[in-house]
Amino acid sequence: SPSRFSVIVIGAGISGISAAKVLAENGIDDLLILEASDRIGGRIRKEKFGGVTVELGAGWIAGVGGKESNPVWELASGSGLRTCLSDYSNARYNIYDRSGKIFPSGIAADSYKKAVDSAIQKLRDQEDDDDISTAIESTSAPKTPIELAIDFILHDFEMAEVEPISTYVDFGEREFLVADERGYEHLLYKMAQEFLLTSEEGKILDNRLKLNKVVRELQHSRNGVTVKTEDGCVYEANYVILSVSIGVLQSDLIAFKPPLPRWKKEAIEKCDVMVYTKIFLKFPYKFWPYGPEKEFFIYAHERRGYFTFWQHMENAYPGSNILVVTLTNEESKRVEAQPDAETLKEAMGVLRDMFGPDIPDAIDIIVPRWWNNRFQRGSYSNYPIISNDQVVQDMKAPVGCIFFTGEHTSERFNGYVHGGYLAGIETSKALLEEIKKERKNENQTFLLE
């Protein structure tokens, strides 16, 4: 018969690891972590590129310098992670049009203000009326390339300027880019080391962590959960903590038997999946301006979101000659579906618009595919502005013996690394409470008998 565990944690991203750590520290010794891919980290993922380490997933520790301390910033400080401050605010003064002219800062500032006003108006319209079409047709909608570019940055890239974002309110407005050869994922390995058997080189040897275990079925009842994996293994547990992304929950990768109740399915459907793609380009030498206030620049094109937001990596890794361009949603899906050579050609076209025909071709490119990765299906969750708290409450509420965690279950910090980290802790604490109650009931029954 299959082995039975107290708790099985599904997924070894930051939320799964933080959840498992809390359980282990509270005496749950017979736990098992099942991870579909061949590594821990999930959406925190480094890659060697052009001689340095780049972050294909989460790159920033967002929310630093405020009243409260961001727990992920504390982890980073504790392990000496190398970071550098990012200041996007200058980007609006480095806006290029298609002929390579930089918009005078006055125009850029005007467009910026107009985009912010239009965004605020949109929010008000949505509050007044659930019908989004009225908001989009409102007269202040962005139209010119520069307005479109700024609107894209506010909504698809930054999001922070139009509503108070709890990350900045609680933890402060500064953001630090992780620029460490060990990668952002070093924080996860440090956490794992504290409760899993690890080799001197930091490799996890503990047999409570199983990689390449793709969970395909959760059969659940009042008495526990039977977990089936793609390779035909069967595990049993009193409880499961499910940390897979919102995109995976929306897909059919995992079959629930019986199916999830209607309220849970509705919450899962209501939450949007954002796709966010950082394309890295390596060049033989620099041809872009660098120095103070030049780290971020914008390309204004009549097609919204077309290679709009750029960053050079000179601050993070001097002499690396690397540029990063961020695409989102439909543009992300479009480039994921085409060969990288095509994407490289498009990016070079855009760079030649900005910097002239004589610049050298990129010698290497990475196009991460978060949308097509069946263990991710997107980059992070985004609750519609008009959705109420109930959606998040339903998202994180357990279904019988299945407890839900992950960044998408974080009430205040969904979409962020610290959201995933804190969600894992919160979910495990809730489960420990449940186990305590269960034990008390058992004891009472025992005494009555």
Interface residues toward ligand FAD, by CB under 6 A: 10-16, 34-37, 42-44, 57-60, 62, 214-215, 243-245, 248, 253-254, 276, 278, 370, 375-376, 379-380, 406-407, 415-417, 419-420
Question: For 399, which DSSP code?
Answer: B
DSSP assigned state of 440: H
Name the residue nearer to ligand FAD (CB basis): 73 or 96.
73
How many CB atoms within 10 Å of residue 194? Answer: 10
Strand-pairing partners, residue 282, are 322, 364
Nearer to ligand FAD, 96 or 157 (CB): 157
When the beta carbons of 83 and 376 are compared against ligand FAD, the nearer one is 376
The token pair at 281 is 């380009």
- In the complex with ligand FAD, which residue's Cβ is closer, 40 or 52? 40
Q: How far is the CB of 372 from ligand FAD (least distance, A)?
A: 13
Asked if 92 and 194 count as a contact pair (C-beta separation under 8 A), the reply is no
CB of 302 to ligand FAD, least distance (A): 26
Give min distance, CB of 445 to ligand FAD, in A.
35
Nearer to ligand FAD, 147 or 180 (CB): 180
| 251/387 with CB nearer ligand FAD | 251
**From the CB of 19, what's the least distance to ligand FAD, in Å?**
9
Q: Are strands 234-242 and 402-404 parallel, antiparallel or unpaired?
A: parallel
> 62 or 350, CB closer to ligand FAD?
62
Whole-number minimum distance, CB 175 to ligand FAD, in Å? Answer: 8
d(CA 169, CA 164) in angstroms, rounded, equals: 7
Toward ligand FAD, which CB reaches closer, 38 or 200?
Answer: 38
Q: Compare residues 50 and 63 and give the one whose CB is closer to ligand FAD.
A: 63
Which are the contacts of 372, defined by CB distance < 8 A and separation ≥ 6?
A: 336, 337
SS3 annotation, 154-205: HHHHHCCCCCCCHHHHHHCCEEEEECCCCCCCHHHHHHHHCCCCECCCCCEC
Distance CA 228, CA 140 (A): 53
Whether 366 and 54 have beta carbons less than 8 Å apart is answered as: yes
State the minimum distance, in angstroms, from the CB of residue 169 to ligand FAD: 15
Opening angle at CA 13, ends 237 and 417, nearest 5: 130
Query: Contact at 8 Å (CB) between 369 and 336?
Result: yes
How is residue 166 written in tokens?
A: 């709890």
Q: What is the DSSP letter of 407?
A: G
Spatial distance between the Cα atoms of 347 and 306, rounded to a whole number of angstroms: 9
Q: Where are the alpha helices (DSSP H) in 209-295?
A: 246-250, 262-270
Least distance CB 64 / ligand FAD (angstroms): 11
Q: Measured from the CB of residue 270, what is the shortest distance to ligand FAD in angstroms? A: 18
Q: How far is CA 351 from CA 169, 306, 338, in A?
A: 36, 12, 19
Q: How far is the CB of 426 from ligand FAD (least distance, A)?
A: 12
